[in-house]
A and B are shown apart, each in its own frame.
Chain A
Amino acid sequence: MRRTIPAALLTVALAATAGCGDSGGGDAGKANAARGPITVWLSNNAEEVAWGKAMVQAWNTQHAEEQITAQEIPAGTSSEEVIGAAITAGNAPCLIFNTAPAAVPQFQKQGGLVALDSFAGATDYITGRTGANAGQYTSPDGKFYQLPWKSNPVMIFYNKKIFAQAGLDPEKPQLATYDQFLAAARKIKSSGAAQAAIYPAPTSEFFQSWFDFYPLFAAESGGKQLLDGGKPQFDSPEGQRVAEFWKTLYDEGLAPKEKYNGDSFADGKAAMAIVGPWAISVYRDKVSWGAVPVPTSAGTPADQVKTFSDAKNVAMYSACQNRATAWDVLKFATSKEQDGALLTATGQMPLRADLPAAYPDHFAKNPAYQGFAQQAARTVEVPNVPNSVAIWQAFRDAYTESVIFGKKPVSDALSAAAEKAEQLAAS
């Protein structure tokens, strides 16, 4: 008898579990046409928050019946996890101005996103604003579940002072080929000018490959994504050359294998870093820096080098009830005027076709951003495939094992990771 009550409670709990399914369900057509107040989430980058608040104020002064309430994304391990939880809970906001492209397939699978194509003229608006690069952001079903918003094209930042100490030319550093890069790295290390030549995070998080392997793979392969049509592209001569290049840096101790707690470049521990233009405002007062495109084995001309976009986009979430307003806000926030304000406030590159021509005055006044603006036209995005995060984790595990820690031949690791990635993409 003593066990009767707990057993009954457990049975009730299990019955409730079995019965728990999705309930409710809104009328998408009705929501798409509805207008009224909406909520939006902004990233928690200070400059971006300032831009977001100004944008919201500009909208709210003109739309008394359709007010925006903005807040920063709630704190969490990562924005993607917070957004995923909000989708499941049904309390995601209408728009999030910090949606990672890699997470879009997962959010889409969860039924958490609104296809923007369901609004009249949306496809024309997106492709007209972003140009040919917009194609990288379509989902496998051909629809846009994200509006390409801004990118941070990744380049090599270098510390001019450390380069000078190491006897390298700080104004025109020779970093275009792998051989030149390795020679410079060896000189930095042997001269003692810095503890590390370059210090990308050697840790196992799935997204770390976006800041070591992937930009160089994009450059070496002439713009290939990690997967194309569900087929891995990295288990190839280009991928192996990139991996071997990084392996040399780790094997020779030019790049440390241990996590650095802080910003190694800002702290002067590393002579180089792979970063996007968001970092300009961070490093401005700390480091005398220069920037060059990522290297390739043959030394691709600078104006042809591709790189990883490190983009963040805007998506509309299915919990939104006033989607007509949300769509109008989306267009307002990505208008030429607001994009210009974003560029000025944050230094991040709006994903617009022919960006330098769109804001000539800004780039004339801020020459440091010109290289990034030109690079922004040659960016490669993460592939929009199912199980995207799992694929990146599988790749990262293989990379750390073979490239960073040298426990397995690079070719074997890439081959095994490609097999796993293909299975994940197909499932």
Chain B
Amino acid sequence: MATAHAAAATDAGPKAGGGGTGRRAPRGRVAAVLGRHPVGLLLAAPYAVFVAAVFAYPLGFAIWMSFHDYFFAAPGAVVDRPFVGLDNYRAVLVDPQVRQAFGNIGVFLVINVPLTAVLALLLAVALNKAVRARMFLRVAFYVPYVTASVAVVGVWLFLFNSEGLVNQLLGPLAPDPSWLVNEGLAMPVIAVFVAWKQLGFFILLYLAALQNVPKELYESAAVDGASAWARFRSVTVPAVRPATALVVILATITGANLFTEPYLLTGGGGPSGSSASPVLVMYQRGIQQGQPDVAAAIGVLLVIGVLVISAINRRLLERD
């Protein structure tokens, strides 16, 4: 490695200095603006434009809306959209429904994220070792992920409504009120549903990570007499830590964007709003009730919340 670095330094030296100061100055200014490889900008430009159009612009627009008295209007309509400072944020923060929605999503994340990470890792390890029907099992876990939520929600309604299969199996042990109309159980059911639905994707992430774990580590541990559990704990878990960080962050982002499931599974956030999510409330405020400024403020707070949680996750999971 030292030799390679030295060679690189040697190569760079004459180029940087070659030709004297008279030629170096213009190239330096161009490089300062366009970088050392301008063609890279050309290649990145389409994606940069895409990001600007579908991410930066809407995000900027949402932030702008959240500070104004904004509503959607017909082209040509003369409307006043004054700057209102933090009024929309104040309205959001004192709104009990919004606070409840953020609390609900907290419950969701506490259940869903650990469940997703643990189940995905365990199933990935099992699938990695499975000899027979490996492909069938992988597809079986992946199918819910690629199936539209609207379709699989129907199956869960069949399972978890008061006359559903689960209650029939539980008999007198069935909860009353039933799962989806029970204030304490509606959100946990949604968290489990989403974990089940997303599992296939996260298993794939872990399977990819497991391919990169050197077999020698397992062999060494086996020679040292480590049990299967000890090998899992001391070899597998640390080796897939980057994948775990990714799974946790992606699951957190997915959870924070929860909409379809409470909308369809519990009839628009019932019972008593106990399964409403911030995105569902954004939809109600912004689209149904014509208050996109308030919806934008909720969205900005949600983005900030997700960034903070993701940063904490990274700090906790990616440290050595």
Binds B, one of A23-31, A181-189, A228-236, A359-367: A23-31
Q: How far apart sit A1 and B61, CA to CA, in the bound complex (Å)?
A: 25
B: residues with CB less than 8 A from A are 32-33, 35, 41, 48-49, 51-52, 56-57, 60-61, 64, 71-79, 97, 154, 157, 161-162, 177-178, 180-181, 183, 267-273, 284-285, 287-291
Q: Do B161 and A258 touch (CB < 8 A)?
A: yes
Structural contact, B273 and A397, CB atoms closer than 8 A: yes
| A residues 13-46 touching B (CB-CB < 8 Å) | 13-14, 16-18, 20, 22-26
- A265 vs chain B, min Cβ distance (A): 17
Residues of chain A with a CB closer than 8 A to B287's CB: 81, 84
Measured between C-beta atoms, what is the minimum distance from B79 to chain A in Å? Answer: 6
Q: Does A400 contact B (CB under 8 A)?
A: yes
Contacts of B71 in A (CB 8 A): 109-110
**Are B78 and A202 in touch, CB under 8 angstroms?**
no
5 A-B contact pairs sorted by A residue (CB < 8 Å): A13-B57, A16-B57, A111-B78, A201-B267, A407-B272
CB within 8 Å for A258 and B178 given contacts A9-B56, A204-B270: yes
Q: Does A405 contact B (CB under 8 A)?
A: yes
Contact of B76 among A13, A24, A389 (CB under 8 A): A24
Cβ contacts under 8 Å, B162 to chain A:
256, 258
Assess the A110–B32 pair: CB atoms within 8 A.
no
A14 vs B32: C-alpha distance when bound (angstroms): 25
B211 to chain A, nearest CB (A): 32
A110: contacting residue among B57, B72, B267, B284, CB under 8 A: B72
Neighbouring A residues of B64 by C-beta, 8 Å: 14, 17-18
Asked if A203 CB lies within 8 Å of chain B CBs, one says: yes
- Chain B residues with CB under 8 Å of A288's CB are none
Complex-state Cα separation, A92 to B74, whole angstroms: 9
Chain B residues positioned under 8 Å from A10 (CB to CB): 52, 56, 60
Label chain B's interface by main secondary structure.
loop
Q: Could you count the A-B residue pairs with CB atoms below 8 Å apart for me: how many are there?
A: 149
Q: Which of B52, B57, B73, B270 has the most CB of A within 10 A?
A: B270
Determine the distance from Cα of A205 to Cα of B267 in the docked complex, in whole angstroms: 8
Are B177 and A13 interface neighbours, CB within 8 A? Answer: no
- For the complex formed, measure the closest distance between the CB of A334 and the CB atoms of chain B, giving whole angstroms: 24
Residues of A within 8 A of B291 (CB): 390
Q: Are A110 and B272 in contact (CB under 8 A)?
A: no
B292's nearest neighbour on chain A, judged by CB, is A88
Which of A20, A22, A203 contacts B77 (CB under 8 A)?
Answer: A22
| Chain B residues positioned under 8 Å from A257 (CB to CB) | 177, 181, 271
Partner of B74, one of A80, A88, A261, A400: A88
A318 touches B77 (CB 8 A): yes
State whether A1 and B35 are in contact (beta carbons under 8 Å apart), knowing that A81-B287, A87-B74 are contacts in the complex: yes
* With A9-B52, A88-B72, A259-B267 as contacts: A17 and B60 at CB distance below 8 Å: yes
A130 within 8 A of B: no
B57, A6: Cβ atoms under 8 Å? no
Given A9-B56, A13-B60, A205-B268, A87-B72 contact (CB < 8 Å): yes
Instruction: Give the complex CA separation of A80 and B290 in angstroms.
Output: 11
19 additional contacts (CB under 8 A) given A90-B76, A387-B290 = A1-B32, A5-B41, A14-B64, A22-B75, A25-B76, A25-B77, A80-B288, A90-B75, A106-B289, A109-B71, A204-B267, A204-B273, A318-B74, A387-B289, A390-B290, A393-B288, A397-B273, A400-B271, A405-B183
Q: Which residues of A contact B75 (CB under 8 A)?
A: 22-25, 89-90, 319
- Nearest-CB residue, chain B, relative to A389: B289
B26 CB, min distance to chain A CBs, angstroms: 17
Q: Are B79 and A22 in contact, CB atoms less than 8 angstroms apart?
A: yes
Does the CB pair A12–B52 fall under 8 Å? yes
**Residue in A closest to B178 when the chains form the complex, CB atoms:** A258
Residues of A within 8 A of B60 (CB): 10, 13-14, 17
A356 within 8 A of B: no
Known: A17-B61, A87-B72, A109-B290. A204 touches B48 (CB 8 A): no
Residues of chain B contacted by A206 (CB below 8 angstroms)? 284, 288-289
A52 at the interface (CB under 8 A from B): no
Asked, given contacts A13-B56, A257-B181, whether A111 binds B76 with beta carbons under 8 Å apart, the answer is yes
Nearest A-chain residue to B41, judged by Cβ: A5
Contact with B along A79-107 (1 / 0, CB 8 A): 01100100111101000000000000010
Taking CB atoms, residues of chain A closer than 8 Å to B35 are 1-2
CB distance from B146 to the nearest CB of A (A): 23
Contact in complex: B183, A202 (CB < 8 Å): no
Check A277 for interface membership: any CB of B closer than 8 A. Answer: no
Cβ of A244 within 8 Å of any chain B Cβ, yes or no, is no
Give the nearest-CB partner of B45 in chain A: A5
Residue from the set B77, B162, B178, B284 with the largest chain A CB neighbour count within 10 Å = B77
A261 and B72 CA atoms in complex are apart in Å by 33
State whether the Cβ of A72 lies closer than 8 Å to any Cβ in chain B: no
Complex alpha-carbon distance, A13 and B60, angstroms: 7
Residues of chain B within 8 A (CB-CB) of A390 are 285, 289-291
Chain A residues near B269: list those with CB within 8 A: 204
Whether A397 touches B74, Cβ cut-off 8 Å, given contacts A12-B52, A14-B64, is no
Given A6-B48, A13-B56, A17-B64, also A90-B74 (CB < 8 A): yes
Q: How far is the CB of A175 from chain B (nearest CB, A)?
A: 26
The answer to whether B73 touches A407, judged by C-beta atoms less than 8 angstroms apart, is no
CB of A401 within 8 Å of the partner chain:
yes
B76 & A261 in contact (Cβ 8 Å cutoff): no
Q: In the complex, which residues of chain A have a beta carbon less than 8 angstroms from the beta carbon of B51?
A: 6, 9
Nearest chain A CB to B92 CB, angstrom units: 14
Docked Cα-Cα span, A404 to B268, in Å, equals: 14
Q: Does A200 contact B (CB under 8 A)?
A: no
Q: How far apart are the CA atoms of A92 and B64 in the complex, in Å?
A: 26
Inter-chain contact A258/B273, CB cutoff 8 Å: no
Is A112 engaged at the interface, CB distance under 8 Å to the other chain? Answer: yes
Closest to B36 in A: A1
By a CB distance below 8 angstroms, the chain A residues around B61 are 17, 20
| B177–A5 CB distance below 8 A | no
Known interface pairs A13-B56, A258-B178, A397-B97; A110-B288 also in contact (CB < 8 Å) = no
Interface residues of A in 202-237 (CB under 8 A from B): 202-206
Shortest CB–CB separation between residue A380 and chain B, in angstroms? 22
Which 3 pairs between the two chains have the least Cβ-Cβ distance? A111-B77, A203-B267, A25-B76
